[in-house]
Amino acid sequence: MGTARIAGVGLTPFGSHPDRTGRDLFAEAAAAAIADAGVPRSDVDALNYGNFMGSIAERQGHQAPLMAEAAGLSCPATRYEEACASAGVAVREAVRTVRSGEADVVVAGGMERMSHLETADVTAGLATAADDLLEVRSGMTFPGAYGLMARAYFDRFGGTRTDLAHVASKNHDHAIPNEYAQFRRAVSVEEALSSPPVATPLHLFDACPITDGASAVVFVSESYAAAHDIEAPVAVTGSGQGTDRLALGDRDRLAETPAATRAAETAYGEAAVDPDDVDVAEVHDCFTIAEVMATESLGLFPVGEGITAAREGVTAADGAVPVNLSGGLKAKGHPVGATGGSQIVELTRLLRGDHPNSDHVPDASVGVAHNAGGSVATAVVHVLEVVA
């Protein structure tokens, strides 16, 4: 089986872009990735595009051919929808396609545009990623779902709101130098603790913002890279996906995310690495408790012990295992259909040494990306390595 190398990456600034269209945002990210790769558009064999709420937020379904046109591509285009893991799945399928030899060049990424909607409408749209019959009709929202998960975690393993506030503060610190981040300002632990409640025990600074943005990654085969003298020193060497029951009430335990655990086991197995080899991670911290559970599913900490990692400085920029050097969803932002792709972009920049936070991980050679859908009913994990 071949290797999927990352030839180019592109992002839009994450934030509020109510006056821009989704196609405009994705065109910008795709153009940046293609220029970074130095690949002719005519050589692109496929576009894998992630989007979750387009039919609601922009009243636009059938977005894949639209985005191919916006990106100047004439190849087959497919939209992937797995809630907040949409771009992660698009990336995974791109990796599998290139590895199989079916294609030499695939563009993968995603886009979401939500800031032009009222907050209540965004919340309702995002809630369609939960079980409508068993959860949404009873008033469940994702702040409520993650609030339940946080309470279950505290009840089973311990932990406090202060531990979660350290996660928020850390990720805001990481976002400050990131030119693509939505919130480039410090948030102290005290400020996070004093912010208004959202869904007990979660408060405002435990939650990611409403975000617009797009991401794109150009994957190439080793043979194509060699034939066209393309420098692509980072590759996805492992990819895994896991699934759990959609409704929280149908799960055996709320304080763990087995879909992510299974995805990580598959990705590590393919890459022939283990958690001790990981130098840097980008994880799906839609809420601060989600970062804690993600790091445990990735094996970076034993189950029940990730809660103190941020407070102890382990996951900080200069810690033993830096997590979310981009700022994460918490501070960089979370355009849901684009997030899985943006994690690959950020890790690639970190491993190539051209990220503003690369100085914190100068010798990093292995990174892991964790992208989750909904309350982690879907999880995608990718291992990235410096291969040449």
Backbone angles phi, psi at 285, to 5 degrees: -95, 60
Degrees (nearest 5) of the Cα angle 172, 174, 177? 105
Q: Which residues of the chain have pLDDT under 70?
A: 1
Backbone angles phi, psi at 329, to 5 degrees: -60, -30
**What residues contact 379, with CB distance under 8 A and at least 6 apart?**
85, 241, 242, 243, 244, 257, 259, 260, 262, 263, 297, 370, 371, 372, 373
SS3 state of residue 109: strand
pLDDT at 346: 98
Q: What angle do helix axes 86-100 and 339-352 make, rounded to 10 degrees? A: 60
Residue 149 falls inside a structural domain: no
Pairing, β 46-50 against β 77-80:
parallel
Cβ proximity of 295 and 283 under 8 Å? yes
Q: Which two tokens stand for residue 254?
A: 């709320």
Q: What is the CATH number of the domain that holds 91?
A: 3.40.47.10
Which residues partner with 178 through β-bridges? Answer: none
Q: Which amino acid is at 66?
A: L
Residue 151 falls inside a structural domain: no
Q: What is the number of domains present in the chain?
A: 1
User: Minimal CA–CA distance to 78: which of 108, 99, 102?
Assistant: 108
What tens digit of pLDDT does each residue of 166-203 get?
Answer: 999 999 999 999 999 999 999 999 999 999 999 999 99
pLDDT at 1: 66
Residue 181 falls inside a structural domain: no
Residue 238 falls inside a structural domain: yes
Backbone angles phi, psi at 361, to 5 degrees: -135, 60
Question: For the chain, what is the total number of helices (H) and then of strands (E)?
Answer: 13, 11
- Give CA separation, 50 vs 80, 107, 187, in Å: 5, 11, 31
Which residues partner with 329 through β-bridges? Answer: none
Residue 191 falls inside a structural domain: no
Residue 99 falls inside a structural domain: yes
Residue 180 falls inside a structural domain: no
Sign, Cα dihedral of 128, 132, 134, 136: positive
Cα-to-chain-centroid distance, residue 124: 21
Cβ proximity of 237 and 96 under 8 Å? no
3-state secondary structure 187-256: CCHHHHHHCCEEECCEEHHHECCCCEEEEEEEEEEHHHHHHCCCCCCEEEEEEEEEECCCCHHHCCCCCC
- Spell 240-276 as b/e; 16+ CB within 10 A means b: bbbebebbbeebeebbbbbbbbbbbbbbbebbebebe
Q: Which two tokens stand for residue 340?
A: 């899985």
Q: Which residues are catalytic?
A: 84, 334
Residue 159 falls inside a structural domain: no
Range of the domain at 64: 4-117+209-386
How many angstroms separate the CA atoms of 156 and 268, rounded? 27
Cβ proximity of 345 and 62 under 8 Å? no
